[in-house]
Structure formats: C-alpha cells, structure tokens
Amino acid sequence: MRSLRMGDRWLLRFEKGEEVIDGLRRFVRSAGIPGGVLSGIGAVDEMTVAFWDTVEKKYRDYLHRGLIEITSLTGNVAWMGAEPIVHVHVNAHHETEGGFGGHLVSARVSATLEVSLDAYPRRVDRRRDPEIGLPLLDLPPLDRD
C-alpha cells in the first residue's frame, strides 16, 4: 500500500494482491487514526460480501470471484477497545453476475484500489448492542432541548 497525508485526509493506494479490510485495519492502527470516514473505487478478483440477518443475529457471507469492479466503497473507522473496526459497504459489478453489494468482509485487489480516508479529531468507539447484536457507534443521546 502507498499513502499520502494531507492534513486530516489520507489517500491510500492498494497494490495488486493486497487484502483490503486487513490492510485498512493495519493502516489505521499504525497511523493512529482515532476514527473517520472513507470512500474508494478499484478492481478486485475475489470479494466476500455479507448482510446482517436480524433474526439470527449473524452475517451471511457471499463469495464472488472473477473480474470485479468496485463502483463505490464507503464506510467508517472506529475502535472497540484496542482494536480498530473498519466498517465498509460496497457496490460492485461482476463480469457475469452483474451488480451486487453489501457489507465488505474481505477483498483481494486485482489492479488497484484507491481510498480517501478523512480522520476525525477524536477517538470514536463502538459498543456491542445486546438487542441488535452488532457493535454500534457509541454516541451520546441527541440533546432535544
């Protein structure tokens, strides 16, 4: 991966063969990113996407292989304890399957992936919600006065 910092914004370029989610986690940890938002585009040859089953409270994974163009990648960065949580959703187009999307579990770059990451000025945490079953952003209640 290559990177360029411009203030609180990072431009990242993944190289062929790199794994996206693990690479983003390693980068966030090493750069000390307290939280943020990200977006990107690129091409991969293997991608696992998922959706959250609200009844069984677990992700259902779907593996795609072949020529895949990422038309939109968007997400956020937060922390759970000492671990960065990179939560990314993706829209993509497969050469024969057509368009698909979902929660990005993993992806292997086939050509390149370009990501813009805007860091927040302070740490953002996640906390597991027992009712929903997911680690949600731990934010204060909205002041309605």
Tens digit of pLDDT for each residue in 84-143? 999 999 999 999 999 999 999 999 999 999 999 999 999 999 999 999 999 999 999 987
Instruction: Answer whether 27's CB lies under 8 Å from 73's CB.
Output: no
Q: What residues make up the domain containing 98?
A: 2-121
Average of per-residue pLDDT across 23-39 = 98
Largest CA distance in the chain: 53
pLDDT for residue 10 = 98
Stated pTM of the model? 0.93
Residue 46 forms part of a structural domain: yes
Residue 129 lies in a domain: no
Round to whole Å and give the CA distance between 86 and 77: 5
pLDDT the model gives residue 145? 58
**CA–CA distance, 78 with 80 (Å, rounded to integer):** 7
- For 22, list phi and psi in degrees, rounded to 5: -60, -40
Asked if residue 60 belongs to a domain, the reply is yes
Q: Is 24 inside a domain boundary?
A: yes
CATH number for the domain that contains residue 23: 3.30.1330.80
- pLDDT computed for residue 143 by the predictor: 76
Closest CA to 19 of 71, 79, 88: 88
Closest CA to 109 of 34, 62, 47, 27: 47
Residue (of 16, 22, 75, 21) closest to 43 by Cα position: 16
133: left (phi over 0), alpha (psi -120 to 50) or beta: left
- Count structural domains, the chain: 1
Mean model confidence pLDDT for the chain: 96
Assigned domain for 68 exists? yes
Q: Quick one: average pLDDT of 16-28?
A: 98
Question: With pLDDT > 90 as the criterion, what percentage of the chain qualifies?
Answer: 97
Average pLDDT in the 20-33 region? Answer: 98
Half-sphere exposure of 64 (CA within 13 A, CB side): 30
Does 58 reside within a domain? yes
Question: Domain for residue 111, yes or no?
Answer: yes
Question: Has residue 9 been placed in a domain?
Answer: yes
